[in-house]
Amino acid sequence: MHILVVDDEKAQRDLLAGFLRNKGYTVSIAASGKEAIDRNVTTGFDLAILDLKMPELDGIETIERMKEIDPETYFVVLTGYGTVESAVRAMKRGAYDYLNKPLNLDELELIIERIQGEQIMHQELEMLRAAVEDEFKFDSFIADSPKMREMLSVISRIARSDSNILLLGESGTGKDLVARLIHSASSRKNNRFIAISCAALPETLLESEFFGYERGAFSGAEKKRIGKFEFAHKGTLFLDEVGDIPISTQVKLLRVLQEFTFERLGGNMSIKVDVRLITATNQDLQEKIAQGTFREDLFYRLNVITIRLPALRERREDIKLLAEYFVEKFSKKCGRDIESISRSAIDKLVRYNWPGNVRELENVMERAVVLSRSAHISENDIPLEGDTKRRKTIHESLADVEKNHIAEILDQTNWNLSETAARLGIHRNTLRMKIKSYGIKRKTQ
């Protein structure tokens, strides 16, 4: 919190400023109303404490002028003995509170704490509104396959630590959901979970999202705004699509992770935060490091613990449960009464390759619920492209088909070369040669 103390009496000014600095606030001082207004043009203040009686510009006029510049500043006025009327006038002009001289500093501190509470609440409301629009409901997390159970046990072990976590996995595998799950299993669960998607955000926009900005930091910055790092203080910050962060912003992010301090854009006050960082990407960060588009030092900071979410085709045991779960969810939502899914429909779902993973399954089941004419979902209600195999097969050359097939089996065997070769019916050396000539790469773990 940045506080401006405005008083024409030096002793009073120094007393107040000293007290507030001791309490850990950032304090600026002004000896007159005019100086206060000048300072307000260059710096946005969270709170101004003003003496009402000053030569030239008095407290009330100063408030009015400062409010024109920055309507979000809070004002507390100091009044001498017997000037209740002017305190009342100041309150009418938008002062938050007043204090009688001689000052009771404890009282002042209480007022400041109340103002801080209000500021946070104000922004919280905005965030809540955004969250409701997000329409996220944390109903249920389906994870029955051995791979997912193993992942859950990892999560329960690491959730309470403060280590940074990197979530890897194809699109639609549930990275978002897992990030929220980790937060709600952690000791930070009663504080905020803040998510930002870094995808395709230009540098300044992303940085103002991260760090916030002071009023006037750039054209259009009419009000000061706190960033997501500040907002997630004591909670969890989830950076989605972290592979998309521009390299210059990566440097700044690295600094926050090393020092836990940063400045708002256009500001010079250091802000200290305590956040747990969860990041996610479906890109190959190792490859980006090799290309020079992702910093290696940042990668190691983010990647203290890696959790890889298996693709849906690697855990087909979950497909039936997920399908049933989604049918129930959408039946409720659409007011339909769907009782069952046919066996052959389930078989079809289990055989399909799910390039879009759980999200694709969710969409397919929603469409099935909406379109089904009876209380029973049959095979015909779930048209799947190409049915079992990859859907683009026809358009691919034979070499592509071979390459993709090898990559898929490698994936399934977790790059066990002997097993892959055996399953493909070729010699290990032939497999090695093909991996090399097709340039097949292992996905990051």
Ligand X SMILES: Nc1ncnc2c1ncn2[C@@H]1O[C@H](COP(=O)(O)OP(=O)(O)OP(=O)(O)O)[C@@H](O)[C@H]1O
Give the interface with ligand X as residue ranges (CB under 6 A).
140-143, 169, 171-177, 282, 358-359, 362
Residue 176 or 408: the one with the smaller Cβ distance to Mg ion is 176
**414 closest CA partner among 423, 427, 425, 401:** 423
Q: Which does 142 bind (CB under 5 to 8 A by kind): Mg ion, ligand X, none?
A: ligand X
Residue 175 or 183: the one with the smaller Cβ distance to ligand X is 175
Shortest distance, position 143 Cβ to ligand X, whole Å = 5
Interface stretch with Mg ion, choices 25-33, 68-76, 170-178, 242-250 (CB under 5 A):
170-178
Residue 101 or 443: the one with the smaller Cβ distance to Mg ion is 443
CA–CA gap between residue 150 and residue 369 (Å, rounded): 32
Shortest distance, position 280 Cβ to ligand X, whole Å = 6
Q: How many other CB atoms sit within 10 Å of the CB of residue 58?
A: 16
Q: Which does 143 bind (CB under 5 to 8 A by kind): Mg ion, ligand X, none?
A: ligand X
CB-CB contact of 4 with 66 (8 Å): no
| Nearest-CB residue for ligand X | 174
Residue from 72, 109, 176, 402 in contact with Mg ion (CB under 5 A): 176
Q: Which residues pair with 237 in a beta bridge?
A: 194, 277
**According to the binding rule CB under 5 A, does residue 328 interact with Mg ion?**
no
Using CB atoms within 10 Å of the CB of residue 74, give its burial: 0 to 12 exposed, 13 to 18 middle, 19+ buried: buried
Q: Which does 358 bind (CB under 5 to 8 A by kind): ligand X, Mg ion, none?
A: ligand X
- Dig out the tokens for 267 from the structure: 């500001």
Shortest distance, position 323 Cβ to ligand X, whole Å = 11
- Dig out the tokens for 223 from the structure: 């009000």
Shortest distance, position 357 Cβ to ligand X, whole Å = 7
| Nearest-CB residue for Mg ion | 176
Contact residues for 420 (Cβ-Cβ < 8 A; gap 6+): 406, 409, 410, 413, 431
Query: Which of the 8 DSSP states describes residue 174?
Result: S
Which amino acid is located at 413 in the chain?
A: T
Q: Which does 51 bind (CB under 5 to 8 A by kind): Mg ion, ligand X, none?
A: none
Residue 94 or 355: the one with the smaller Cβ distance to ligand X is 355
- Dig out the tokens for 65 from the structure: 């002028």
Shortest distance, position 217 Cβ to ligand X, whole Å = 30
CA–CA gap between residue 60 and residue 435 (Å, rounded): 77
CA–CA gap between residue 210 and residue 225 (Å, rounded): 11
Binding site residues, Mg ion, CB under 5 A: 176
